[in-house]
Amino acid sequence: MHRRQLLAGGAGLGALIATHPQRALAAPAKRLGHDGFPMPQPARTLPQPLLVQDPSRTLLERGWRFHEGDVVPPMPDTHNATYLSVKAGNALGAAAMTFDDSDWKAVRLPHDWAAAQPFLETANVSQGYRPRGIAWYRRTLQLDPADRGKTIELHFDGIATNATIWVNGSTVAHNWSGYNSVHIDLTPFARFGDETNVIAIRVDANAMEGWWYEGAGLYRHAWLVRRAPVAIVTDGVHCDPRKGEDGRWQVPVTATLANTGRDPASVTVEALLLDPDGKTVASGRADASVPVLQQAEATLKLDAGNSQLWSVETPTLYTVVTRVLRDGSPVDERRTPVGFRTIRFDADRGFFLNDQPVKLKGVCLHQDHAGVGVAVPDALIAWRLERLKAMGCNAIRCTHNAPNAELLDLCDRMGFLVMDENRHFNPAPDYMEQLEWLVRRDRNHPSVILWSVFNEEPMQGTEAGVEMVRRMAATVHRLDGARPVTAAMNGSFYDPVNVSTVVDVMGFNYYQADYDRFHQLNPTKPITSSEDTSAFETRGAYESIPAGHVITSYDEEAASWGGTHRDTWREIAKRPFVAGGFVWTGFDYHGEPTPYDWPTIASFFGILDLCGFPKTAFDIHRAHWIDDEAVVGIAPHWTWPGREGQTIPVFVSSNAETVLLRLNGRDLGVQKVDRIMGNEWQVPYQPGRIEALAMRGGKVVATAVHETAGAPVALRLTPARTVMAGDGEDVQPITVDAIDARGRHVPTVNQMAQFTVEGAEIIGVGNGDPNSHEPEHGDRRSLFNGLAQLIVRAAPGKGTITLSATADGLKPARLTISRLATQAPPQVPVTPPTMTIGEWRRSPAMAERPDPAIAPPDGDNNSWAFVRSGTPTRPEASAGWRVYRAAFRPWKRVGAEGGTIRFDSIGGTAELWLDGQKLATKASAAPGPLVADIPAGTGPRRVALLVSAPANSPSGILGKVTVTTR
């Protein structure tokens, strides 16, 4: 094709042919799909909320404090300071419990701090030219005394990238991957009631695990887990249905239990199988004894009989409810969605789902979206999957790492087949743990059909590589006897030693010319393309402009190792022995700006752009992949003022039999549909209406239309949904475009638009231009080739969301969206950070009132006890005195202005001294508070509390001690 002469969709071209600006604007919904506006009709209902699978988990996403940059504590400079600094609970600097984070920024999770960074030429190209760096998060957490005795965990579903986590001044986790969950057993560290807990996390996002944008921070969900002392461990239910020889279904259930209590426990595990209507259709029980601080398994089988099958078209889900009963009462419960389906990879005939051949029409995905970076909210993930479903896509490869758990829940529900991929090619224990975690977490999902242990590893053709894969595959098979293992290879397939010999399914990344030869040489080895295509398109551009880093979306350009969308699918489609393919990629992502670099900051590979706006490839794949509905797409748009009379290649993709192209009612000829390669007409441009009529049996079965737009006169806002959940979590993308006087989408507008919103908040903006350096946070964004996107998060509660968009010279757009009263997922309440003095030195008992200056000599860590406030001293037979000492640095405001020190409860009479000055006295011996003003001063401030305890009564610092502003 010779298109180089063609067309630049430059800014403001439409302005040349303004018509009838006085006419009333058409209602947006009416115009959808009829004027080249590429987004679907807004849905009128809320999506189903994601399942709560584990009622013991509560989101821990509010009330975090964030500091960008490292906080390096001074090194201890004396022997004693060193001695103390390495003790449990005594972490220094920002990891210390008493650290002043009062001026840190309040943030909520999921949070990707890199998404707010500017693009810098000096930053890493693969990471999208965004500096990532180091940052800290802290959160204060209060636990109900009723939770004492429970098993308590913290879960972070993903932290980019290297993280060290402290709880109450003790290191509780080092985590070295941004793609696995971190589960922390908080039980031994937990403090209850008035005593607060402090979580501190240092995140080093300079570390790279990928060659794509990986974001930075706590970018997936975070949870507080509270369970009975004898309960199912995290990811501890395995209940993947199996079909017996007799054709009947069974669900083998294994529950792994743990006991954090003080006594061995005998429990019963009960499992119920609920059908899609929630009716119990099978149940079973098994007993287990769980020794103290150990684990035990309970196994049973549910006889599911002839269950409705799970498939891509009908993703029917059942639920396994697994309960732990202690003395007959339920103490723990998990709900696990399951699907009844069989899977099989056949060396000659590809993939079979429920014994039917299903070609994998897949895409590779990174977790990343315009505006939000890697912190993609669940509702946006759901929306992205809907876009893929609308394209006929039935398979997803999670590249090159474990996805977030919610993606798989959605894939189960929506009927996607998933290749679940591990990040690190390494069988050493630290990394094997990550692989084991992945399999344990994901092995119940009907959507998951394949485990991938690596992507493109240079050691794939070596003896060591083979040994590594053997071990990793064995681990996967030990944990999951039902799914095959693959590895995404990019070469070495014919080397005498190579990993294809030790995987169940051969995964080809590219190398399409080798499909046949490999198949001949390995006739019993099933094959799939694990990755292919790597074609380049700029959305809305129909001419490549190398100097401007713009790439035509006529599906002409691809990486040297890849192929166009059409050439690639042709090779996969015609070979039954190739199970299917995974296009690189479904959506654009930040980073990897191949084939360019600076100033390009995002990829060109997507079938949809970074905002999820479709490129021409979207229509091409619809034609390739959709069988049950006639489709037709037409490119380019038809607004080319100044090009009158020039030839424009018109590209049509359809799955019908024939296509008739019409320009302004005039037939331009019928062509037999080439479903793979598409059809093309050379059309002398004339403004008006170009339509492609797709036909079967002589009947029009689908049409695609573009009309020449006039000058833009107004902005338009089109939501994905007309309703949002008022649960404080719901998010949706809103499309911004400009329309002409007749309400038609103008595909050439590149103007800056400004947004205001009430009843919701803008969490990101984008436009799909890989060359744009406009910030992705804020309230303004240029349209790019006619489109921009803002992503809004609804405020909590019932109400109305009002959005408006303005741009110079255009009539503003206004949009209202209803916010429905919806129950919010439970969140752990926010505990405002307060300075507490928790750690004290306590003198031995003394018969006489001591000098308030008395203190153990520096370095004597033995003569005086280390005690925590809230811990009474055992009653003594005779009255006596004790001194409590602590040193603290007041938080900044108190240091500057002075403040108040408050002892919630002191047992005994007391004198309070600060820096050698007496501040207050407590006259009554009965337990009660003591409050005093403290003068300004940054410290360290030295407190001494002299307590005179009466005989036979608890004494000392019985409650919390806080230092606050006045």
Binding site for ligand GAL (CB under 6 A): 211, 399-400, 455-456, 490, 509, 531, 534, 559, 562, 584, 592, 594
CB of residue 589 to ligand GAL, shortest distance in Å: 10
Task: Decide whether 534 or 732 has the Cβ nearer to ligand GAL.
Answer: 534
Contact 665, 700 (CB under 8 A): no
Task: Decide whether 401 or 654 has the Cβ nearer to ligand GAL.
Answer: 401
CB of residue 211 to ligand GAL, shortest distance in Å: 6
Contact 776, 765 (CB under 8 A): yes
CB of residue 365 to ligand GAL, shortest distance in Å: 11
Task: Decide whether 509 or 909 has the Cβ nearer to ligand GAL.
Answer: 509
Contacts of residue 502, defined as CB under 8 A and 6 or more positions apart, other chains included, come to: 466, 469, 470, 473
Q: Out of 456, 657, 680, 774, which one is annotated catalytic? A: 456
Task: Decide whether 232 or 365 has the Cβ nearer to ligand GAL.
Answer: 365
* 251: three-class secondary structure by DSSP: strand
Cα separation, 8 vs 88, whole angstroms: 65
Nearest Cα to Cα of residue 659 among 698, 689, 707, 708: 698
Which residue bears the tokens 């401007």? 548
Checking DSSP bridges between strand 557-558 and strand 280-290, what pairing results, if any?
A: unpaired
Which residue pairs, CB below 8 angstroms and at least 24 apart, start in 719-722? Answer: 719/42, 719/815, 719/817, 720/39, 720/40, 720/42, 720/43, 720/383, 721/42, 721/43, 721/44, 721/45, 721/46, 721/47, 721/817, 722/42, 722/43, 722/44, 722/817, 722/818
Checking DSSP bridges between strand 535-536 and strand 527-533, what pairing results, if any?
A: unpaired
Q: Respond yes or no: is residue 629 known to be catalytic.
A: no
* 84: three-class secondary structure by DSSP: helix
CB of residue 461 to ligand GAL, shortest distance in Å: 16
End-to-end CA distance of the chain: 76
CB of residue 382 to ligand GAL, shortest distance in Å: 24
> How is residue 835 written in tokens?
């300075």
Provide the 10 A C-beta neighbour count for residue 37.
22
CB of residue 739 to ligand GAL, shortest distance in Å: 36
Q: Respond yes or no: is residue 531 known to be catalytic.
A: yes
Task: Decide whether 424 or 445 has the Cβ nearer to ligand GAL.
Answer: 424
Q: If residue 569 lies in a helix (H) or strand (E), which one and from where to where?
A: helix 565-573
* 81: three-class secondary structure by DSSP: helix
Nearest Cα to Cα of residue 235 among 446, 53, 73: 53
Task: Decide whether 39 or 489 has the Cβ nearer to ligand GAL.
Answer: 489
Nearest Cα to Cα of residue 568 among 344, 351, 362: 362
CB of residue 606 to ligand GAL, shortest distance in Å: 11
Task: Decide whether 544 or 909 has the Cβ nearer to ligand GAL.
Answer: 544
CB of residue 595 to ligand GAL, shortest distance in Å: 10
Task: Decide whether 592 or 707 has the Cβ nearer to ligand GAL.
Answer: 592
E-assigned strand segments in 433-576: 448-455, 485-489, 505-509, 527-533, 535-536, 557-558
Task: Decide whether 196 or 603 has the Cβ nearer to ligand GAL.
Answer: 603
Which residue pairs, CB below 8 angstroms and at least 24 apart, start in 550-554? Answer: 550/771, 551/595, 551/604, 552/3, 553/615, 553/616, 553/617, 553/635, 554/1, 554/3, 554/616, 554/635, 554/649, 554/651
Nearest Cα to Cα of residue 384 among 405, 358, 363, 361: 363
Task: Decide whether 509 or 568 has the Cβ nearer to ligand GAL.
Answer: 509
Cα separation, 134 vs 641, whole angstroms: 50
Q: Which residue is at the shortest CB distance from ligand GAL?
A: 534
Cα separation, 748 vs 637, whole angstroms: 9
Backbone angles phi, psi at 696, to 5 degrees: -135, 135
Contact 157, 241 (CB under 8 A): no
CB of residue 434 to ligand GAL, shortest distance in Å: 19
Q: Out of 270, 436, 457, 531, which one is annotated catalytic? A: 531
* 728: three-class secondary structure by DSSP: coil
CA distances for 793 relative to 383, 817, 820, angstroms: 14, 12, 13
Task: Decide whether 176 or 211 has the Cβ nearer to ligand GAL.
Answer: 211
Task: Decide whether 554 or 589 has the Cβ nearer to ligand GAL.
Answer: 589
Cα separation, 413 vs 432, whole angstroms: 29
Provide the 10 A C-beta neighbour count for residue 291.
12
Nearest Cα to Cα of residue 553 among 603, 601, 614, 595: 614
The per-residue DSSP string of 97-113 comes to: TT---TTSEEE-SS--G
CA distances for 841 relative to 155, 887, 907, angstroms: 34, 10, 17
Residues catalogued as catalytic? 456, 531
